[in-house]
Amino acid sequence: MRTPKSYRFSFVLILLALLLAWLLNISSGSVTIPFSATLSSLLGKPVDVASWQYIIWEYRIPKAFTAILVGGGLSLSGLLMQTLFRNPLAGPFVLGISSGASLGAALLLMGTSLLTGLTSIAFLSDISLAIAASVGSFLVLLVVMLVAQRIKDTMALLIIGLMFGSITSALVSVLAYFSSAESLQRFIFWSFGSVGDLTSGQVFLLAGIVLLGTLLSILSIKALNAFLLGENYALSLGVSLKKSRLLIIIATGLLAGGITAFAGPIAFVGLAVPHLTRQIFDTMEHRILIPAVFLYGAILMMLCDTLAQLPNTANVLPINAITSLVGAPVVIWLLVRKRKMMF
Amino acid sequence: MFEQKNSIIAVKELTVGYGLKVVARNINLDLEPGILCGIVGVNGVGKSTLLRTLANFQPKLAGTIEIQNKLLEKHSPSELAQKLSVVLTEQPASKNLTVQELIALGRQPYTNWIGTLTSTDKEHIQKSMDAFLLEKLRHNKCHELSDGQLQRVLIARAMAQDTSLILLDEPTTHLDLYHKVQILKLLQQLAHQNEKTIIFTTHEIDLAIQLCDKILILDGDTNPFGDPCELIEQKHFERLFPSEMVQFDAKTGSFKVNK
């Protein structure tokens, strides 16, 4: 017989893992900094080389913080989508929400120069990129939601999400064909995904967006739990369907859209992390799952970023490739081992 | 002296359907606390539509529905959730919930904004689990349960919601005779011992005659409602099916196939 676990111990473990992943993440990079120097710099002690201090505080710590926001936020958006669409394979990438954000970003990065003939896009503010990507993902999310209302079949929903992905990537290709080399390069670099290229202003903005999305998710905890029974049961439990659904969609759009705007389209984190989390936290209670999924996603993202940095070399791999290389086998493994993915 | 009527649900001249399409009309019923009421009728006559309308999942087309002397449509969602609970034919969306977690969801109308269970909530959950013989299964996942066990869990969830009215859509389909009787006996016990008014749709007319306090026969015409014995005396069951195929035996209260 299964006994209910207290998850306090698991939370302590996962917090420790977060701390370790964080230390690992900030102690590795293109410049080799001894671990002892990293530690003493963190503790505010003087360091042998002055530039190390600068690298750690001005580059690596903001980057690790961004990785926490990106990994946690994307995983949380995946959890919200899996519950909302009652589908274990839902996630920001699968349902075309990341593609929507890409289209929004592409229209801004490449479309504006096309339309207005301006070659410089330097004046485009960070906020406009965030808004464009969020609006793009939000629109796709709304359309997918409308389709999901008519089609009860969960497989059909995923296929529609994939089709949206195809449509948006086709539109992006058309845009790319007509745009200047400079803006195309900017878009390509954006689409590789990165957590290291953000200015401090962008990091604060991203933190605000992720915080807002997380707060909205926390406010939706009761509704999310009721949705586990299905919408009719949720209605009979006094959940106001329209309001809760809208709240969850806004939270998802903010998280997936905002993050994609700043860090690029990062694959598989949103889909895989909720399932990985349930291997440790064997519950469906969102009061436990929301913090657990956020922390797990943050850890995974920092580890992926550490790998992408290719320790001790100047090369940085696209993080999107790393998350796919890690995430896709995880999903396959879960499907094969568990036979049926549960949500 | 004018006596205040102690009515849990009163339905008058109700018409149900979808948009312009009328499925059933002229439905009347009135139930007091602690009554087990079955709704019987042939396939497609509108049993589920009626139940969905009573549960406020779809608007009625005409007539009135009063829950504890207040019109159904005047209730806010949270107010209604404390008066009326449902057990549907659809399976729970996530079968990864444990029995205890699923039953605990029945307490949602009473918990705070984040869903913290108080000691009262836990008492209700425990009582519901005991009443439906689920103590040993409490930490099992729903996908590990048999159909009969899952049905008991879903009814226990409705009981934990602690409403004076419980609506069930075909709670005995897909079950063998033993489990059909078990579920209906438990429902009868819940109605009589806990003063719950229970309405369920069913195809088990002979079991309903034996166990229900009231029966509503949906026949698409007058929709007779009353005690099972009265309905037998008035020969309403005879008219339910074409007599050349099956005949109702008033003595045993069951149907016989014509050979």
Cβ atoms of A100 and A164 closer than 8 Å: yes
Task: Using pLDDT thresholds of 50, 70 and 90, give the confidence band for residue A145.
Answer: confident
Say whether both B169 and B57 belong to one domain. yes
Mean pLDDT of A295-313: 89
Say whether both B69 and B101 belong to one domain. no
Token readout for A1 is: 């017989």
Q: Is B143 on the interface with A (CB under 8 A)?
A: yes
Question: Of the ranges A4-18, A37-51, A55-69, A143-157, which one carries the lowest mean pLDDT score?
Answer: A143-157
In a domain, residue B38? The reply is yes
Mean pLDDT of A26-44: 85
Say what the pLDDT of residue A342 is. Answer: 66
Of B69, B73, B100, B67, give the one whose Cα is nearest residue B85: B67
Residue in chain B lying closest to A286 (CA): B114
In a domain, residue B184? The reply is no
C-alpha span between A12 and B174 (Å, rounded):
45
- Residue in B56, B95, B114 nearest the CB of A342: B95
C-alpha span between B8 and B19 (Å, rounded):
28
For A195, half-sphere exposure in the C-beta direction (CA atoms, 13 angstrom radius) is 34
Number of domain units in chain B? 2
Question: Of the ranges A51-55, A128-132, B24-28, B164-168, which one carries the lowest mean pLDDT score?
Answer: A128-132
Say whether both B157 and B169 belong to one domain. no
Say whether both B3 and B49 belong to one domain. yes
Report the CATH number that the domain containing residue B249 is assigned in CATH.
Answer: 3.40.50.300
Cβ neighbours of residue B83 closer than 8 Å, sequence gap 6 or more: B67, B68, B75, B163, B164, B165
Q: How far is B42 from chain A (nearest CA, A)?
A: 25
Between B24 and B239, the higher pLDDT residue? B24
Token readout for A41 is: 């710099």
C-alpha span between B229 and A49 (Å, rounded):
96
**b/e per residue B209-224 (b: at least 16 CB within 10 A):** bebbbbbbbbbeeebb
Say whether both B1 and B74 belong to one domain. yes
The amino acid sitting at A185 is Q
In a domain, residue B186? The reply is no
Question: Of the ranges A317-326, B12-21, B26-35, B42-51, which one carries the lowest mean pLDDT score?
Answer: A317-326
Q: In what order do the strands lie in the sheet with B84-87?
A: B84-87, B165-168, B197-201, B36-40, B214-217, B225-226
Say whether both B76 and B158 belong to one domain. no
Give contacts of B168 with chain A, Cβ < 8 Å.
none
Of A333, A339, A338, A331, give the one whose Cα is nearest residue A90: A331
Mean pLDDT of B31-58: 95
Mean pLDDT of chain B, nearest integer: 93
Contact flag B114-A222 (C-beta cutoff 8 Å)? yes
Per-residue pLDDT tens for A277-286? 988 898 899 9
C-alpha span between A335 and A331 (Å, rounded):
6
CA torsion through residues A137, A142, A144, A145, sign: positive
Task: Using pLDDT thresholds of 50, 70 and 90, give the confidence band for residue A119.
Answer: very low
For A110, half-sphere exposure in the C-beta direction (CA atoms, 13 angstrom radius) is 27
**b/e per residue A104-131 (b: at least 16 CB within 10 A):** bbbbbbbbbbeeeeeeebeebebeebbb
Cβ atoms of A113 and A184 closer than 8 Å: no
Domain that holds residue B105: 90-162
Cβ atoms of A261 and A100 closer than 8 Å: no
Q: Is A232 on the interface with B (CB under 8 A)?
A: yes
Of A267, A217, A264, give the one whose Cα is nearest residue A94: A267
Between A134 and B224, the higher pLDDT residue? B224
Mean pLDDT of B16-28: 93
Cβ neighbours of residue B245 closer than 8 Å, sequence gap 6 or more: B257, B258
Q: Is B172 on the interface with A (CB under 8 A)?
A: no
The amino acid sitting at A85 is F
Residue with tokens 């049926």: A340
Of A65, A68, A70, A58, give the one whose Cα is nearest residue A98: A70
- Mutant choice from B108, B110, B121, B122 vs A, greatest count of A C-beta within 10 A: B108
Between B55 and A123, the higher pLDDT residue? B55
Of B101, B41, B109, give the one whose Cα is nearest residue A4: B101
Mean pLDDT of B4-16: 89
Cβ atoms of B162 and B149 closer than 8 Å: no
Longest distance between any two alpha carbons in chain B, whole Å = 62
* Alpha helices by DSSP H, B161-237: 177-194, 205-211, 228-233
Residue in chain A lying closest to B58 (CA): A232
Longest distance between any two alpha carbons in chain A, whole Å = 69
C-alpha span between B116 and B136 (Å, rounded):
24
Q: If you count residue pairs, one on A and one on B, with CB atoms under 8 Å apart, how many are there? A: 92
Share of chain A above pLDDT 70, in %: 91
* Alpha helices by DSSP H, chain A: 8-27, 35-42, 50-54, 61-84, 97-106, 112-116, 126-150, 154-178, 181-192, 200-219, 221-227, 231-236, 241-263, 269-280, 286-308, 319-338
Give contacts of A228 with chain B, Cβ < 8 Å.
92-94, 97, 105
Strand, helix or coil for residue A172: helix
Instruction: Evaluate if residue B22 carries a pLDDT over 90.
Output: yes
Which among B105, B138, B162 is the end of a domain?
Answer: B162
Say what the pLDDT of residue A203 is. Answer: 92
Mean pLDDT of chain A, nearest integer: 85
Instruction: Evaluate if residue B239 carries a pLDDT over 90.
Output: no
Strand, helix or coil for residue A144: helix
Say whether both B101 and B120 belong to one domain. yes
Contact flag A222-B90 (C-beta cutoff 8 Å)? no
Instruction: Evaluate if residue B123 carries a pLDDT over 90.
Output: yes
* CATH 1.10.3470.10 assigned to A16-338: yes
C-alpha span between A311 and B185 (Å, rounded):
69
Query: 66-85 in A: which are within 8 Å (CB) of B?
Result: 83
Say what the pLDDT of residue A313 is. Answer: 73
Cβ atoms of A80 and A147 closer than 8 Å: no
Q: Is B89 on the interface with A (CB under 8 A)?
A: no
Say whether both B151 and B198 belong to one domain. no
Strand, helix or coil for residue A23: helix
Of B51, B35, B37, give the one whose Cα is nearest residue B88: B51
Say whether both B6 and B64 belong to one domain. yes
Say whether both B114 and B69 belong to one domain. no
Per-residue pLDDT tens for A132-144? 887 888 888 888 8
Per-residue pLDDT tens for A53-93? 888 888 899 999 999 999 999 999 999 999 988 888 888 88
Say what the pLDDT of residue B1 is. Answer: 44
Instruction: Evaluate if residue A5 carries a pLDDT over 80.
Output: no
What residue spans define the domains of chain A?
A: 16-338
Strand, helix or coil for residue A45: coil
Say whether both B104 and B125 belong to one domain. yes
Q: Is beta strand B62-67 parallel, antiparallel or unpaired with respect to B9-18?
A: antiparallel
Say whether both B230 and B126 belong to one domain. no
Share of chain A above pLDDT 90, in %: 34
Mean pLDDT of A300-316: 84
Residue in chain A lying closest to B88 (CA): A233
Task: Using pLDDT thresholds of 50, 70 and 90, give the confidence band for residue A125.
Answer: low
Residue in chain B lying closest to A236 (CA): B81
In a domain, residue B21? The reply is yes
**b/e per residue B176-197 (b: at least 16 CB within 10 A):** eeebbbbbbebbbebbeebebb
- Mutant choice from B94, B103, B141, B145 vs A, greatest count of A C-beta within 10 A: B94
Per-residue pLDDT tens for A175-212? 888 888 888 887 888 888 888 878 888 899 899 999 99
